[in-house]
Amino acid sequence: MRRPPNTSIQTISKSLLKPARFENGVYANPVPTIVGATKHMGTIFRRLLFGKEERVPRRALGPFRTDLSIYQQPPASGLRITWLGHSVLLFEIDGTTILVDPVFSKRASLVQWFGPERFFAPPLSIAELPPLDAVLLSHDHYDHLDTAAIQQLTERTPLFVCSKGVGSHLKRWGVPATKIHELNWMDAYKIPSKSPTPLTVTALPARHFSGRSLKRFTTLWSSFALRTANHNLYHGADSGYYAGFRESAEVGQLTAR
């Protein structure tokens, strides 16, 4: 999408694209958003208990397998995206490889004996992943941030790039502080790699929330622009729609500061 004439990045960033507000210990959405309003709880529970919507596939899905041989050669176009189930994406962009929101456990939950269960096993194990330049984390919900996966990836990954505050979880799980780089909205970071066309990650606003318990909004949630000299991608993560989507496209040429 082209940027309208006479519209600068500075002008656009003064509207919805700006750093997150952190007040009284919590972050705010880019636009007014009601999350988990009490008045909706009765309707939600009725639908969960008595609703007719199908929540489980009628037939088992999978098993699926990713062909490991594809990673023996870089993509001819410079770009390849592999979906590894659920929230997990493997981006190969002009010589830089990043894993996004790794969830490899059976359940997206505090415990593995109870909670939402995945419909099929990951098509690729952590041990089978190609060499990574970084792990990118959008927010701290259980279905995007898997404790066991992070602990397994710690030795395999030189860098964890995450939204503000998410690094506190990583440190608690044994990730060295030297491997963690946190981003506020509008922060840009160039991923260290051997690529001649380096990848810049820019954290952008998202309309969502955070929290791994009843305590919400104390860590940040983000979407991301992923840019090299040859490619320019937007990863919305868990964002609901808001007018910033258009503005994010209009300033997709953001570069590292």
Q: Is 19 exposed, middle or buried (0-12, 13-18, 19+ CB in 10 A)?
A: middle
Class in CATH terms, 65-250 = alpha beta
Q: Could you read off the pLDDT of 185-236 as tens digits, one per residue?
A: 999 999 999 999 999 999 999 999 999 988 899 999 999 999 999 999 999 9
Contact 251, 17 (CB under 8 A): yes
pTM of the predicted model as reported, rounded to 2 decimal places:
0.89
pLDDT of residue 5: 37
Average pLDDT over residues 127-132: 97
**What are the extents of the domains in the chain?**
65-250
In total, the chain counts a number of residues equal to 257
Q: Could you read off the pLDDT of 39-55 as tens digits, one per residue?
A: 777 887 788 788 888 88
DSSP 249: H
- In the beta sheet, which residues pair with residue 234? 225
Q: Could you read off the pLDDT of 84-96 as tens digits, one per residue?
A: 999 999 999 999 9
Other Cβ atoms closer than 10 A to 58:
5
Average pLDDT over residues 16-35: 94
pLDDT of residue 37: 64
Q: Is the pLDDT of residue 3 over 90?
A: no
**Closest CA relative to residue 74, chosen from 193, 203, 181:** 193
